[in-house]
């Protein structure tokens, strides 16, 4: 995805590691077309089609504090507190989406060659940021319950990585949710090594069976931590609002990094979010409706996949979040498949951008089910399965001729 630069300008060394997001490239190619897109991670716009934003007071028009509005920080801190995190407004920072939280943490922690441990697969836009800051990325495979605590222990001893980045709750892209026991074991390993945990938790509220276990950070006794949350998945993504909460001793540096990045986040958005989140009962009711809505979509998607993909791939039914993760039985060129499906008006995400260059990438597909209407799902999944089947047969053909 890297276009070689032809400028006469002398650029920083990190730019050779700069990649775009494949998902956003696909999105921009499909923006003006009628397309069935399983590619992005977009909420369903029908959920807010009748929503009018609350009025914004002129007080929100002036420059504001870099840490964000106290009202919103209080609401988000209280929420994090209820999850077991030692959160107060004083260690909670409003960010321009949790993506900015990742950028601030990268600035805080990473220099060329800093070892950093991630899951395989991991969130592609986090890989993008960590690569840009020239970290040396090490990965651990995710099984049904999460990464293996013993493997983490060994890798920490081996690499002396100062930090670990995890997305343990309905992970993007795999949909996996770490068990309570794993969370406690991982926290113990991090405490033992004194390793900083970056925990990215944007999907926590969207669950279809039971509520997920508490954040890993809530089980830490001494290791430093940064916990990223977002309102993009449950409120309004266009606001670009998220938050980070962290060990108090990290807060001052993260606040200065925020200030240097953009002074502060959009203030009307902060007033809107604070107003929409102020009433806890109302918030709970809205989230409950959202979960019901997406649960139906998950079930429709499972039905379509069972119909068209049973002979082609294996997968687990996600108990939260917005994605299915399909492991294909036979490897094919997924970008060739993508070209075929785009011609027929269907977009999906090949799995490779969710892996670092070094690790085993298998042959997987991420399927988003939050955006597309149930009636388009079957049509789109059929087109996708046809493309995969064609390419598999072509490759089997080549193999048998050879």
| Residue list 210-239, contact with a copy of itself (CB under 8 A) | 222-224, 232, 236-239
CB of 311: closest distance to a copy of itself in angstroms? Answer: 34
Which region, judged by CB under 8 A, interacts with a copy of itself, from 177-185, 253-261, 287-295, 333-341?
Answer: 253-261
By C-beta, is 272 or 384 nearer to a copy of itself? 272
Which region, judged by CB under 8 A, interacts with a copy of itself, from 71-79, 143-151, 243-251, 309-317?
Answer: 243-251
Out of 76, 163, 206, 346, the only residue in the binding site for a copy of itself (CB under 8 A) is: 163
| Residue list 50-69, contact with a copy of itself (CB under 8 A) | 51, 53, 56, 58, 60-66
Q: SS3 of 176, please?
A: coil
CA distance 4 to 239: 33
DSSP string of 279-335, one letter each residue: -HHHHHHHHHHHHHHHHHHHHHHHHHHHHHHTTTEE----SBSSEEEEEESS---HH
Out of 111, 143, 209, 280, the only residue in the binding site for a copy of itself (CB under 8 A) is: 111
Out of 68, 103, 177, 219, the only residue in the binding site for a copy of itself (CB under 8 A) is: 103
Out of 253, 279, 280, 282, the only residue in the binding site for a copy of itself (CB under 8 A) is: 253
By C-beta, is 243 or 392 nearer to a copy of itself? 243
CB of 10: closest distance to a copy of itself in angstroms? Answer: 4
Scan for tokens 């892209």, then name that residue: 173
Rounded-to-5 percentages of helix, strand, coil across the chain: 45, 15, 40
Residues near a copy of itself (CB under 8 A), total:
86
CA distance 264 to 227: 19
Out of 3, 210, 375, 400, the only residue in the binding site for a copy of itself (CB under 8 A) is: 3
Q: Which helix (H) or strand (E) holds 364?
A: strand 364-368
Using only C-alpha atoms, the chain has a radius of gyration, in whole angstroms, of 21
Out of 76, 85, 109, 346, the only residue in the binding site for a copy of itself (CB under 8 A) is: 109
Q: SS3 of 241, please?
A: coil
| Residue list 116-135, contact with a copy of itself (CB under 8 A) | 125, 128-129, 132
Backbone angles phi, psi at 116, to 5 degrees: -140, 135
Interaction of residue 287 with a copy of itself, rule CB under 8 A: no
Interaction of residue 187 with a copy of itself, rule CB under 8 A: no
CA distance 265 to 69: 9
CB of 145: closest distance to a copy of itself in angstroms? Answer: 27
Q: The tokens of 347 are what?
A: 């977009």
CB of 38: closest distance to a copy of itself in angstroms? Answer: 15
Interaction of residue 289 with a copy of itself, rule CB under 8 A: no
- Burial call 8-18: b when 16+ CB within 10 Å, e when fewer: eeeeeeeeeee
Out of 141, 180, 211, 260, the only residue in the binding site for a copy of itself (CB under 8 A) is: 260
Distance, C-alpha 214 to centroid of its chain: 18
Interaction of residue 194 with a copy of itself, rule CB under 8 A: yes
Q: Which residues contact 74 (CB under 8 A, 6 or more apart)?
A: 89
Which region, judged by CB under 8 A, interacts with a copy of itself, from 2-10, 78-86, 136-144, 319-327?
Answer: 2-10
C-alpha angle 373-379-382 in degrees, rounded to nearest 5:
130
Burial of 29 (0-12, 13-18, 19+ CB in 10 A): middle
Interaction of residue 400 with a copy of itself, rule CB under 8 A: no
Interaction of residue 30 with a copy of itself, rule CB under 8 A: no
Which sign, positive or negative, has the C-alpha torsion 361, 367, 368, 369? Answer: negative
Interaction of residue 361 with a copy of itself, rule CB under 8 A: no
Out of 87, 257, 322, 365, the only residue in the binding site for a copy of itself (CB under 8 A) is: 257
């Amino acid at each position: 995805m890297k276009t070689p630069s032809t400028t006469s300008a002398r650029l920083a060394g990190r730019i050779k590691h700069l990649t775009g997001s494949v998902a956003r490239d696909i999105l921009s190619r499909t923006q003006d077309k009628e397309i069935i897109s399983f590619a992005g991670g977009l909420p369903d716009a029908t959920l807010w089609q009748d929503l009018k934003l609350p009025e914004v007071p002129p007080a929100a028009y002036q420059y504001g504090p870099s840490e964000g509005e106290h009202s919103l920080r209080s609401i988000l801190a209280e929420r994090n507190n209820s999850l077991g995190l030692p959160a107060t407004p004083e260690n909670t920072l409003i960010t321009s989406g949790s993506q900015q939280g990742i950028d601030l943490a990268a600035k805080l922690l990473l220099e060329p060659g800093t070892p950093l441990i991630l899951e395989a697969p991991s969130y592609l836009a986090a890989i993008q940021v960590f690569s840009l800051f020239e970290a040396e990325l090490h990965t651990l495979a995710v099984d049904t319950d999460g990464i293996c605590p013993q493997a983490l222990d060994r890798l920490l001893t081996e690499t002396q990585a100062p930090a670990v980045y995890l997305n343990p709750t309905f992970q993007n892209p795999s949909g996996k949710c770490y068990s309570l026991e794993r969370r406690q074991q991982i926290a113990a390993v991090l405490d033992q090594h004194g390793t900083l945990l970056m925990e990215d938790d944007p999907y926590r509220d969207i669950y279809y069976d039971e509520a997920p276990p508490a954040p890993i950070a809530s089980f830490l006794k001494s290791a430093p931590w940064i916990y990223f949350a977002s309102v993009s998945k449950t409120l309004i993504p266009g606001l670009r609002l998220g938050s980070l909460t962290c060990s108090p001793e990290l807060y001052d540096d993260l606040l200065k990094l925020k200030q240097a990045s953009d002074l502060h986040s959009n203030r009307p958005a902060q007033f809107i979010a604070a107003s929409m989140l102020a009433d806890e009962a109302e918030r709970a009711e809205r989230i409950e409706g959202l979960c019901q809505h997406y649960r139906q979509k998950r079930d429709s998607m499972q039905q379509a996949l069972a119909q068209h993909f049973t002979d082609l791939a294996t997968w687990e039914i996600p108990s939260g979040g917005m994605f299915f993760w399909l492991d294909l039985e036979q490897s094919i060129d997924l970008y060739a498949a993508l070209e075929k499906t785009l011609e027929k008006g269907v977009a999906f995400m090949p799995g490779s951008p969710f892996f670092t260059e070094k690790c085993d990438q298998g042959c997987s597909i991420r399927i988003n089910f939050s955006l597309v209407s149930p009636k388009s799902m079957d049509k789109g999944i059929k087109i996708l399965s046809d493309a995969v089947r064609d390419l598999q047969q072509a490759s089997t053909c080549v193999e048998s001729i050879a």
